[in-house]
Structure 1
Amino acid sequence: MIRQGHISLQSFLLGLGMLSYFILACGSWSPGLGITVEWLKERPWAYCGGFYLLVNIIIVLIFRGLEWQVAVRGCFLGSACGVGIIVTTLCEASYRVFGWYMVVLTFFHYSEYLTTAIGNPRTLSLDSYLLNHSWAYGIAAVASWTEFFVERWLLPDMKKVWYVSAIGIIICLWGEIIRKSAMLTAKTNFNHIVQTKRQENHELVTWGTYKLFRHPSYVGWFWWSVGTQLILVNPLCSIAYTLASWSFFNERINFEEITLINFFGEKYLDYQKRVGTGLPFIKGYQYNHRSPSNSQ
């Protein structure tokens, strides 16, 4: 794994050190530190804020330029993951599912970067964290947070239906396994951006996860996105995410399959006949052999 991958992993774990709060809360301390420790034990969010500030000072002192940008993002995701675990542990029941959601969300974004660093380091960039994926993605996230807190305010017991959240976690885990196995199977043939020009070393991947689905990375992301809303017990966003994700991936798959047919011709068309897209009611681009506009 290249240096940026190691830096991101170290900084993620450094941020995850936020969980040292539990050592503070459970440990016994010398009388000289007693007042400070007791004050922090009763104010976990003050401890988290102070810890986050401290580790960012350390990062500023160690890294510069691009390496600092990699590290500060990894630290942010690790810290947010740690806060999610603390929320799940310490907050009242109606807030706990939001802690689970934070863990799932931050791990997804961090693992996207780390998996790219392992499987296809040539394409690794700050965008590999997917934190700036798109305006639509950001708006969807804010909408889901808004629904959670409004419903939690009006119907707090609704957010205590733990078995719905548990199903959501299982679906997210399933989606993550599919997506990350696809990225590691494709390796240098995987890219977060649809390629419109075939690279010299680009080959058609039909083994591993690609034996089950033509587009396993999209299948994984689809189920992960729907699962996040089940974790939050968000009925409105569960429906909206399902419809929006289906529409997005339907369009994306059609566009990508046009480029793949241009890249691989009959070889891809044969693969297309053998293996489905993996997403319900999405068949992919239907190539018309008789249309001159579609000919190679």
Structure 2
Amino acid sequence: MLVWHGQVSLQSFFLGFGILSYFIVACGNYSLVAKTGGAMDWLVDHPWAYCATFYVLVNVILCIFFHGADWQVAVRGCFLGCSCGVGVIISILSPIAYKVFGGYIVVLTIFHYSEYLTTAIGNPRTLSLDSYLLNHSVAYVIAAVASWIEFFVECWFLPEMKKLWYLSIIGIVVCLWGEIVRKLAMLTAKTNFNHIVQTKRDENHELVTWGAYALFRHPSYVGWFWWSIGTQLILVNPFCTVAYTLTSWSFFYERVYVEEKILIDFFGEKYLDYQKKVGTGLPFIKGYQYTRIRIHEN
């Protein structure tokens, strides 16, 4: 059964996703109600005002029903649900060149929310607000902002480039692949998975070599690597696609090296045998190469 904070986040996400009620209200208002110049008519004609009003109202509801830690979980889940719904609205109502940004928002918010929900399902003991990964790192925020700047600059000067919808479709497929691999890794590892590299072995920590780990030694990194690249393909961002690829590769090269060194300390020969059978899954990254030094006595 899903833990309490998992339930709170799920309810709040779908409450926020209810922002798509805009389309129901719009259809009902246009087909059943004559234009009277009322407040609802004005909101229907101004979708972003409707979204802002909806977001304020649902947050008032959250303040009434949730308090303390529950509210902290709920307000983040609601924010991601609303953002996901706004992404759908953008992809439908915006000019062609900007539609792909809506798809990007949907992919981005689903990633962050699914990180929390998957942790709640697979490893609830480590569940915290950090599981949303909304405060991942300064570098992550800088990378995201850089991709937004590139997108809008190119939209302004090269709008036709953003209409290459087939590249966005490829990006969505790549992101979907990355999401599936990463979430399978988290659900396979369960209590052995942690968003933070562990330097001390827990007594219940075991080496996982089945499921997604039978295909890649680091399936969660494989998933994130391809997901990050896919987001830039969705936006048709040539510069950030290259930058994300190189930066992600460099980050995981170092991360895998450090983590495998720790895993060899944890599991010894067992991990070395696993290393021989299964690759990292990341291009041109072999991981930590353990060297045995033997002293021969004469």
Which residue number in structure 1 is paired with residue 58 of structure 2? Answer: 55
1:71 is the counterpart of 2:68: no
Q: 1:101 aligns with which of 104, 107, 111?
A: 104
Equivalent residue, structure 1, for 2:232: 229
Q: Which runs of 4+ in 1 moved over 6 A?
A: none
Which residue identity lines up with residue 23 of structure 1 in the other structure?
I
Match of 2:188 among 185, 189, 193: 185
User: Could you tell me which amino acid in structure 1 is paired with residue 14 of structure 2?
Assistant: L
Q: Residues 52-110 of structure 1: CA distance to partner in whole angstroms, max 9, x if unpaired? A: 00000000111111110000000000000000000000011000000000000000000
Counterpart position of 2:16: 15
Matched with 1:26 is: 27
Shift of 1:25: 1.0
Say if 1:181 and 1:291 are closer, same or farther in 2 by CA, change over 3 A.
farther
Residue segments in structure 2 that go unaligned for 5+ positions in a row: none
**Structure 2 counterpart of 1:243:** 246
**Correspondence list, 1:113-262, <5 A:** 113-262=116-265
- Shift in alpha-carbon separation, 1:127–1:291, aligned structure 2, 3 A: farther
Work out the CA distance in 2 between the residues paired with 1:29 and 1:153.
39
Residues 150-193 of structure 1, C-alpha deviations (whole Å, 9 max, x = no match): 00000111100000000000000000000000000000000000
TM-score (norm 1): 0.97
Rounded to whole Å, the distance in 1 between the matches of 2:275 and 2:209 is 10
- Rounded Cα–Cα distance in structure 1 between residues aligned with 2:288 and 2:170: 32
- Out of 89, 92, 96, the residue aligned to residue 86 of structure 1 is 89
How many Å apart are 1:32 and its aligned residue?
Answer: 9.7
How far apart, in 1, do the equivalents of 2:56 and 2:35 lie?
24
* 1:2 positional shift: 0.5
Deviation of residue 291 (structure 1)? 7.8
Cα distance, 1:31 vs. partner?
A: 5.7
Pick the aligned partner of 2:279 from 260, 276, 294: 276
DSSP 3-state at the match of 1:285: coil
Question: Shift of residue 36 of structure 1?
Answer: 2.5
Q: Matched residues in 1 for 2:260 and 2:109: separation? A: 30
Residue 18 of structure 2 contacts residue 85 of structure 2 at CA under 8 Å; is this kept in 1?
Answer: yes
Provide the TM-score with structure 2 as the length reference: 0.96
Once residues 22 and 66 of structure 1 are traced to their aligned partners in structure 2, the CA distance between those partners, rounded to angstroms, is 33
Q: What letter matches 1:252 in structure 2?
A: R
Q: What is the one-letter code of the residue matched to 1:139? A: I
Displacement of 1:37 after TM fit?
A: 2.6
Q: Report the AA paired with residue 43 of structure 2.
A: L
Distance 1:272 1:16, change over 3 A: same
Structure 1 residues not aligned, in runs of 5+:
none
Distance 1:33 1:74, change over 3 A: farther
> More deviation in 24-33 or 210-219?
24-33
Name whichever of 138-147 and 30-39 sits farther off.
30-39
What is the CA-CA distance between 1:289 and the residue it aligns to? Answer: 1.0
Partners in 1 of 2:222 and 2:294 — Cα distance? 30
Give the SS at the match of 1:258.
Answer: helix
Return the match for 1:42 from 35, 45, 52: 45
Deviation of residue 38 (structure 1)?
A: 2.0
Report the identity percentage: 72
